[in-house]
Amino acid sequence: MSILSLHDLTVRYRHTVAVDRVDLVVPEGQIVGLVGESGSGKSSIARAVVGLAPVSGGRIALDGRDLPRRGRRRPVQMVFQDPYSSLDPRMTVGDSIAEAIPHRLGRAARRSEVERLLHLVHLDPARAGHRPGQLSGGQRQRVALARALAGRPEVLIADEITSALDVSVQGAILNLVRDMQRELGLSMLFISHNLAVVRYVASRIAVMYQGRIVEEGPTAEVLADPRDDYTRQLLAAVPTGAGGRRPVRSAESGCD
């Protein structure tokens, strides 16, 4: 669909530089994974792109043109981490989704559009009349996805969308993300602190550390042959998963 590119992007809050002259490209129809520890600036990038954080320097472009960050039509949409706070508890699921449809539609057209979107995220269209309180975390995150898709975005940003979910539904959401990306050909920036999750969904990976991108490349290459020190540290820290055990380190002098 479209190429999202960041040139020299800087995001500064009052006392800190959260994003420090970052260059990053999300190529057409691909998922780029962004990893790094908490506070490294991942979410700041996401929020800057969708207009929720100030851009103190640099440029955000979509297909080479400056990205509109105000107004009704937003070609980049975002899904948030916590599905318990990203849906208005007083609005029905259908209303939340309908609100995000940029053009005015008749009542019937709106209904069928909401149904189409719910169907797209594998939810029963009858859920449209429910309130978020009646849904589980996984279901809410599906609604949040449907709302993001309602804007017919060209690029989707997913910010830690599985980390507030229970392990049992994480997998389902990840499957959905991959299916949707394939079906709709979306370009996507997928943010996570979990390397294994990023490895599973993303074709390219960017590693962030203290506001900078320290390494970027095709997922398989970066994971197999990390060039940056921090990337190596990060990889070494990941638990190896069911089946493999690391050797127990022997006690060192400090410990008696």
Could you tell me which of 39, 143, 129, 126 has the C-alpha nearest to residue 84? Answer: 143
Residue 19 CB, shortest distance to other proteins, in Å, is 8
152: left (phi over 0), alpha (psi -120 to 50) or beta: left
Residue 89 CB, shortest distance to other proteins, in Å, is 7
Cα dist. 163→132, 138, 197 in Å? 18, 11, 10
Residue 77 CB, shortest distance to other proteins, in Å, is 6
Closest CB to other proteins among 5 and 132?
A: 132
Closest CB to other proteins among 27 and 68?
A: 68
Closest CB to other proteins among 66 and 252?
A: 252
Residue 165 CB, shortest distance to other proteins, in Å, is 10
Please give the distance of CA 31 from its chain centroid, rounded to a whole number. Answer: 10
Over its C-alpha atoms, the chain yields an Rg (Å, rounded) of 19
Closest CB to other proteins among 64 and 89?
A: 89
Closest CB to other proteins among 106 and 168?
A: 168
Contact assessment for residue 128 and residue 160, using Cβ atoms and an 8 Å cutoff: no
Closest CB to other proteins among 108 and 240?
A: 240
Could you tell me which of 20, 46, 21, 16 has the C-alpha nearest to residue 190? Answer: 46
Residue 32 phi, psi dihedral angles, 5° rounding: -105, 125
Buried b / exposed e over 235-246, threshold 16 CB at 10 Å, is: eeeeeeeeeeee
Residue 5 CB, shortest distance to other proteins, in Å, is 19
User: How far is it, in rounded angstroms, from Cα 29 to Cα 213?
Assistant: 21
Residue 60 CB, shortest distance to other proteins, in Å, is 14
